[in-house]
Each structure stands twice: as C-alpha cells, then as structure tokens.
Structure 1
Amino acid sequence: MRFLHSPRQNKILAVLPDEELMRLLPFLEWVDMPLGQVIQEPGARSSQLYFPATCIVARMYNRKSGISKRVSMTGNEGVEDIFLLLAGNSPPATVVVQNPGYGYRIKAKILKKEFEAGGVLQQQLLRFSHALLLQTEQSVVEACQTTEQKLCAFFLMTLDRLSGDSMVMTHEFVSTMIGSRRESVSEAASILQREGAIQYRRRHITVVNRKLLEDRVGEGYAALKKEYDRLLLNEPCADPVRHSRAVLKKAHGY
C-alpha cells in the first residue's frame, strides 16, 4: 500500500539523515489543518510545534485600529513556532491556517532536545529562523505599499509555498492577511483580474500571469525570495513518500 502522507514533504524533515529522522518519527503526529483554524492564540502557552506539509500557516498581530496584520507565513519550508526552541516562549501572536492541508505536530520539549544535540536539524532550523527574520522585516516594508502591491506580494509568497497556482480564500480573509480594508482588497483584485493577472471565482483565486504580479510588487519580494532560496534550498528526495516508507520500515524493523 502506498503511503499518502510523509514527513519528508516538509523540506526541513526531507533533508535530515535517516538516523535523525528516525529519532523524531515516533513523536511526529499527522494533523489535518483546515482553513482558518487557529493553532495559537495571544498569551496562550504553547507546547507544540508544527511542520507544515501541504498547508500554510500565518502569524498575525492585532493592531489598535482593530485591523490584524500578518507578519510572516510558513509553508513546507519551515516550522511553526520556532520561538519555542530559541527563546523558550512565543511572542503574543495569533497563528492561523492560511491555506488548508496537513502537517506534522511534535512536542516542543522533544524537538528542543534533538535541536540541542546539534546535527543537520539544528543547522536547518537556524537557517530557517534567519529566513523568517528576513520575511518579518519585509512585512514592515510592505506597510507603506499600496493595497495592490501588498496583494501581489501575498499571492506570490503563497504560490511559492503551494504546488499549484490556485488558492482557496475570500476577499475578507485576504484583507485580514494583508492588513487592508476588504473594499480596498476587492477593488485591487478586480483590477488584477481585468488585466489578466488573476481569475477570481467563488472563493477560488487562480494566478494566470505570474509576471504581471512580479512587475507590480517591486524589488522587495524578489530580494526576499532570492535570499530564501539561498538559505533554504536543499536537495529534496526524488520520492519523499517512498523514502519515508523505507525509513519507517527500518525504524520498526520490518
């Protein structure tokens, strides 16, 4: 029987040597992550970290104006919440599932023990934390951009973490993600659709001309993507599902 899910679908877990992954496998729990699910609330103590496989999670902060602002998104290139490993606690943010899918959950104390042992896992998590810091800095720069530019950057960053060119989300949800009024998002999306950059239909947004988005978003996105690729680009397994199955058999002796 072919395994439908694999921890190797997360890029950090994908590059771990078999012996490192085998130590984690008994503690990695597959979890369904539906759109809009809140996996962390401000002020709540968290003891779990998530390795996204096919989903994307976003870290949000509430502003005095009542409008939330996304400061980062994490897909299968990383882990949420790395602050538990580096600082022992997490900043007061809301972490929500931005794009549905699934991932793998693990207790922070278990991952921290493996992290402190060094090895490839430690190296990859430190590289990811560097990339995440760069993304957070870029979100500050985006604050002075137009809604249209924010929307283009959001679509591009989301597609970079998905396997296709379509996203399931409403204008209201997008407005929360980029910190703009819903009316402004709808107007900007209409412009992009008329110009042939996207197609929007019943909660489904499809990018049909990526270059039009890239031309509008400015240099910030391109610089961030280049640095992300430099920090996180690794040789993936040719078949992560098959490789994971082999590791599981080895781990359990069958």
Structure 2
Amino acid sequence: MKSSPPSPLTNHLIDNLPRQDRASFLNGCEAIDLVFGEVLAEPGGRILHAYFPLNSFISLIAKLSDSERLEVAMVGSEGMLGIPLILGLEESPLRALVQGAGPALRMPVVVFGRHLAQSPALQALLRRYLYVLMHQLSRVAACTHFHRVEGRLARWLLMTQDRAHSDRLHLTHEFLAMMLGVRRAGITQAAMALQTRRLIRYHRGDITVLDRAGLIEASCGCYASDRRLYRRVITEGGAP
C-alpha cells in the first residue's frame, strides 16, 4: 500500500491570493490547533472568527433535532469556516464540529471584515469559494436522495482522506451514519462491500484506504464533479 504524502501546512484559499494580499492577510491571522470534537459554531450562534484549516478539517452539520443530523459539507485546507461573513452576516446556519485535529489559522470577525473591505482579490476569491460550497451543498442533497449507500460512502471516505492527508481514518459507526443519513446497518453493509472488494480495511471505526483508485471508481460521480469544479473555479480561476 502506498501511503499518502505528508501535507504541507498551507491553506489553498490563502495561497491563491496575490502575494501582497496574502502577506497582509497572514499577518492578521493567529495560528491555533483545532481539537477533535471541538464545536466551533452552532446553528443560530454568532460567528466570532473565520477559520482556515491547514492540516485539520471540520464537519458542517445540519441539525433538525437531536436525532436528526446530517453532515452536509467538510472544510479542510481547501476552504474556510465562516462563509456567511462574506455576505455581511455573523450568524452560523450550521453546526461546525472538528473531525480532524490539527493546525489552523484563525482571524477575528472584525479583522476579517477589514481585510475583505480592502482587498478586491479576496472578495473575488471568496465569492468563487461560496459558489463552490453552494454547489457542494446542492450536490449532497441530490446525492443523498438518488445514489446508493456504497457509492456515497466511498465518496465521503475520499473527501475525508483528502482533508486528513492520510490513508488511515477513524470514523465511528455513529458518525458514518450521520454523515450519510442512513441507519448503522446500512453503513455496516456498505463498508463490508468495500472491504470485500479490497478497497478499504475496516475494523471498529478504524478505516484504512487500501486502493484509492478503486475507491474513486466505486464512488458516485459526485466526488469527481466536486474536484473538477474546485480546480476550475478556484485553482484555475475559470468562470463558474
């Protein structure tokens, strides 16, 4: 098995800023470590900071009730937490839960607002990221309704691997069920199917990706679609 290369401590959104804007923006950031299980925002709660993960990642969870929760997006080194700030809003629509501990950059809301007002390049980049995130959220809704659990599990494992920068993941049955909006029995069946195909090894919440290429093939087309869109809109700066 070929291991994933170590991740550089970087955030791709910040890296896509022009040099002068990037240097100024980084000066306004504070380096922190995100802790597994830490709640950074609650639905309806006030946003105090914008977060830019480096080698960490955050789950965005829609919560209808204590028993009705669904992960609708992830934020890792490709993005940011605090996207309502772009729209001039300081209220979080979703629960933000740290699923991958590690370093991140944090910026107070007031400082973020000042940088946003002074940098047209930052405004343009974050509008593009907002478009990408909107696409991901809409895709999750359709994917949850139309695609089989096995393909959706493969997709979310790949998304998690991308942000964890590791072949080894720890995801409990409870979290996987919430992630996909299915019962635990459905998770067990889907995980066993992927394991039988020797794409993953799964034991008591410890998952090892054995065959990434095979897992991509097993996933629904939403994974490849999300990656193409991010590359075109953010990395290459093309039209949405």
Does 1:135 pair with 2:136? yes
Aligned counterparts, 1:45-56, within 5 A: 45-56=46-57
> Aligned with 2:82: secondary structure?
coil
For the 8 Å contact 1:52–1:78, the answer to whether it is kept is: yes
Partner residue in 1 for 2:159: 157
Q: Which residue, 200, 207, 215 being the options, matches 1:205?
A: 207
Distance in structure 2 (CA, Å) of the matches to 1:60 and 1:212: 28
Does 1:146 pair with 2:165? no
TM-score, L = length of structure 2? 0.86
Partner residue in 2 for 1:175: 177
Distance in structure 1 (CA, Å) of the matches to 2:85 and 2:49: 8
Structure 2 stretches lacking a partner, 5+ long: 1-6
Aligned counterparts, 1:1-254, within 5 A: 9-63=10-64, 66-144=67-145, 145-233=147-235
In terms of Rg, which structure is larger?
A: 1
For the 8 Å contact 1:151–1:178, the answer to whether it is kept is: yes
For the 8 Å contact 1:17–1:120, the answer to whether it is kept is: yes
Partner residue in 1 for 2:4: none
Structure 1 stretches lacking a partner, 5+ long: 236-254
Distance in structure 1 (CA, Å) of the matches to 2:228 and 2:26: 32
Q: Which amino acid aligns with 1:178?
A: L
Identity of aligned residues (%): 29
- Measured on the aligned residues, the alpha-carbon RMSD in Å equals 2.3
Distance in structure 1 (CA, Å) of the matches to 2:198 and 2:125: 38
Distance in structure 2 (CA, Å) of the matches to 1:16 and 1:168: 33
Distance in structure 2 (CA, Å) of the matches to 1:190 and 1:34: 30
Distance in structure 2 (CA, Å) of the matches to 1:101 and 1:178: 24
Describe the superposition over 1:138-165 as per-residue Cα deviations: whole angstroms up to 9, x where unpaired: 1111221232222111012222333232
> Aligned with 2:156: secondary structure?
helix
Q: Which amino acid aligns with 1:16?
A: L
Distance in structure 1 (CA, Å) of the matches to 2:30 and 2:52: 10
TM-score, L = length of structure 1? 0.81
Q: Which has the higher contact order (CA 8 A, sep 6+)?
A: 1
Distance in structure 1 (CA, Å) of the matches to 2:72 and 2:88: 18
Distance in structure 2 (CA, Å) of the matches to 1:111 and 1:64: 32
Q: Which amino acid aligns with 1:212?
A: G
Describe the superposition over 1:81-120 as per-residue Cα deviations: whole angstroms up to 9, x where unpaired: 1112224133431111122222111112211221122333
Partner residue in 2 for 1:247: none
Q: Which amino acid aligns with 2:232?
A: R
1:65–1:132 CA distance, 2 compared to 1 (3 A): same
> Aligned with 1:122: secondary structure?
helix
